[in-house]
Copies of this chain bind each other. A is one copy, B any other.
Amino acid sequence: MTWEDDRNKPDDITEIVDRLMPEEIFMKYIFKNAMVLTMNNQEISESCDVLVEDDVISAIGSLNDEQKNNARVIDASGKLLMPGLINGHCHVPMTLLRNYADDMSLQTWLFDHIFPVEEKLQGEDIYYGSLLGIMEMIASGTTCFIDMYDHMNDLARAVEESGIRAQLSRGMINTGEGPDFSDDTRLNETIDFYKRWNGAANGRITGAFAPHAIYTCSPAYIRAIVETAQKYGAPIHVHLDETLVEHEDCLKKYGKTPAKHLYDLGVFEQKTVAAHCVWITEDDARILADNKVTMTHNPSSNLKLASGIAPVPNALNIGVNVALGTDGASSNNNLNMFEEINLAALIHKGANQDPLLITAMESLKMATVNGAIAIGMDNLGVIKEGAKADIIMIDMDKPHLMPVHNVVSALAYSVQASDVCLTMVDGEILYENGEFKTIDKEKVSHGIKKCYERLF
């Protein structure tokens, strides 16, 4: 192409501008010659082209010349394309507390270590802690996460700037007596946050209401939260039945299980994500299934804090939508969803002595399509025409992935987070070949050091 060619079309300004558009602002991408695990059906498509226009996957298969026009072509030969992973339960700012307190009882961990530091946290800590966690997530293939924490404007700012997708909620813990909670600080912060951020950043950020747990919120407080959530049409994010102590205390105090308690308080009338559900009964699982409540399974955290092993195979059988999550990095101690996929496919087999439980594909579904159901987006968690362009690319040319007998098994049992070579959210490349495109690694590193020095 020479300037002479351009001169031949002096009136076609649009085409010239398109042709000169710098790569950085491409809004059209073709992943060329990829192996594709759509998760829409369970098949693998070989040598497939995927077209992304703006924030949407607009075509899959062989593309025509018009479709190919003006797109940045990404060579995906020998690579696997799949939907980005959805982390169904996280406290991303706690990444700042990674490897800070381990191998101790829940009481010692929480009251002697986590709570005292959390009291000192400021907006800056939340912002940098979140950016650090988001870096880890996008480098390991996570494109969306469901989070509950504090200082939510700072967390939302990190999400907005980084380009990742998230459902965010301010965790609410009971302080006042009630029954009137109209002056409750946390509830009012939640309302303000929801109004400001729900639907922000091209819809990448959505809000939820988060009563922390039944042991930190009184029934009256939970009712007040539910009624406000109903007023705004907001979903709910809550911890549920994480430990045997919570389960037994609830039976003693309310004469029913934690799940039944939340059901009776009307929580499940709103779209709900319930994290953990380690001790739910069969009846509880039916309540969750009937009310379309998502149960988020957090295997690393439940093992590490010795909460137990959630009855995931039974819950799936009953029809509960089970998503996967990492929980916070202070009880994991990472935000690597491929590790959770691996654990979910391993531990239930071992604990129940049944090698047929939780297949590789079931575990991958929990981390993709079931996560999309959790967040209420049917155009997420799959690669199909019209779906959001939340896509990850995996380099299969690694000794630990050879030979490629079965891609699905490889993803559940062999892959390493570092095999992710590209992460795209909402049609924007956030991470490619080890480089962060929207986050300044040095700035985050420096910010984390400053926060760390003040806090510890």
A333 and B402 contact, CB distance less than 8 A: no
- A405: chain B residues within 8 A (beta carbon): 97-100, 456
- The listed residue (B98, B353, B356, B404) touching A414 by CB distance below 8 A is B98
Q: In the bound complex, what is the Cα–Cα distance between A244 and B416 (angstroms)?
A: 32
- Take A104-B356, A136-B399, A414-B334 as given contacts and tell me if A350 and B308 are in contact as well, using a CB distance cutoff of 8 Å: yes
The answer to whether B304 and A445 have CB atoms under 8 Å apart is no
A132 proximity list for chain B (CB < 8 A):
399, 402
The answer to whether B350 touches A303 (Cβ under 8 A) is: yes
User: Would you call B402 and A445 a contact (CB within 8 A)?
Assistant: yes
How far in angstroms is the closest Cβ of chain B from A415?
9
The residues in A between 349 and 377 inclusive whose CB is less than 8 angstroms from any CB of B are: 349-357, 359-360
Taking CB atoms, residues of chain B closer than 8 Å to A406 are 99-100, 102
Q: Give the number of times this chain occurs in the complex, counting copies.
A: 2
> A356, A404, A416, A417 — which one has the most chain B CB atoms within 10 A of its CB?
A416
* Chain B neighbourhood of A106, CB < 8 A: 355
The contact string, 1 if C-beta is below 8 Å from chain B, for chain A 301-336, is: 011111111000000000000000000010011111
Given contacts A355-B104, A355-B105, A418-B416, contact A350 B99 (CB under 8 A): no
**Beta-carbon nearest neighbor of A411 in chain B:** B99
Contact residues on A (Cβ < 8 Å of other chain), bracket: 35 or more
Q: Does A347 contact B (CB under 8 A)?
A: yes
Which chain B residues lie closer than 8 Å to A228 at the CB level? none
Q: Pick the contact of A400 from B336, B356, B444 — CB < 8 Å?
A: B336
| With A400-B140, A403-B452, A449-B403 as contacts: A409 and B355 at CB distance below 8 Å | no
Q: In the complex, which residue of chain B has the Cβ closest to the Cβ of A400?
A: B136
* Given A136-B400, A352-B306, A448-B403; A413-B333 close (CB under 8 Å): yes
Among B105, B303, B413, which residue has its beta carbon within 8 angstroms of that of A347? B303
| Cβ 8 A contact of A351, one of B98, B304, B309 | B309
Residues of B near A346 (CB, < 8 A) are 300, 303-304, 343
A355 — nearest CB in chain B belongs to which residue?
A: B306
Distance (whole angstroms) from the CB of A284 to the closest CB of chain B: 19
**Which chain B residues lie closer than 8 Å to A339 at the CB level?**
342
* Assembled-state Cα–Cα distance A399/B417 (Å): 12
A365 to B365, CA, bound (A): 36
Task: Pick the contact of A416: B397, B404, B416 (CB < 8 A).
Answer: B416
CA distance A333 to B351 in the complex (A): 18
Q: Which residues of B contact A220 (CB under 8 A)?
A: none
Taking the nearest CB of chain B, how far is it from the CB of A148, in angstroms? Answer: 21
In angstroms, Cα B354 to Cα A244, docked, is: 12
Q: How far is the CA of A305 from the CA of B353 in the complex (A)?
A: 8
Residue in A335, A336, A347, A400 with the greatest tally of chain B CB atoms within 10 Å: A400
Residues of B within 8 A of A354 (CB): 306
Q: Is A135 an interface residue (CB 8 A)?
A: yes
Q: Are B103 and A356 in contact (CB under 8 A)?
A: yes
B414 touches A417 (CB 8 A): no
Interface assignment of A225: CB less than 8 Å from any CB of chain B? no
Q: List chain B residues, Cβ under 8 A from A409.
A: 99, 102-103, 333
By a CB distance below 8 angstroms, the chain B residues around A403 are 96, 98-99, 448-449, 452
Please indicate which of the listed interface residues A350, A359, A441, A449 has the most CB atoms of chain B within 10 Å of its own CB.
A350
Known: A347-B347, A402-B448. A413 touches B353 (CB 8 A): no
Q: In the complex, are the beta carbons of A413 and B334 less than 8 A apart?
A: yes
Give residues of chain A (378-432) contacting chain B, Cβ–Cβ below 8 Å: 397, 399-400, 402-406, 409-410, 413-414, 416-418
A-B pairs, 5 with minimum CB distance: A303-B350, A418-B418, A306-B355, A333-B413, A99-B409
Interface residues of A (CB under 8 A from B): 95-100, 102-106, 109, 132, 135-136, 139-140, 244, 300, 302-309, 329, 332-336, 339, 342-343, 345-347, 349-357, 359-360, 397, 399-400, 402-406, 409-410, 413-414, 416-418, 441, 444-445, 448-449, 452, 456
Instruction: Supply 26 A–B pairs (Cβ within 8 Å), ascending by A.
Output: A98-B403, A99-B404, A102-B409, A103-B409, A109-B355, A136-B399, A136-B400, A304-B413, A305-B349, A306-B352, A306-B354, A306-B357, A307-B350, A307-B353, A309-B350, A333-B410, A333-B413, A333-B414, A334-B400, A334-B414, A339-B342, A343-B346, A347-B347, A402-B445, A402-B448, A416-B417
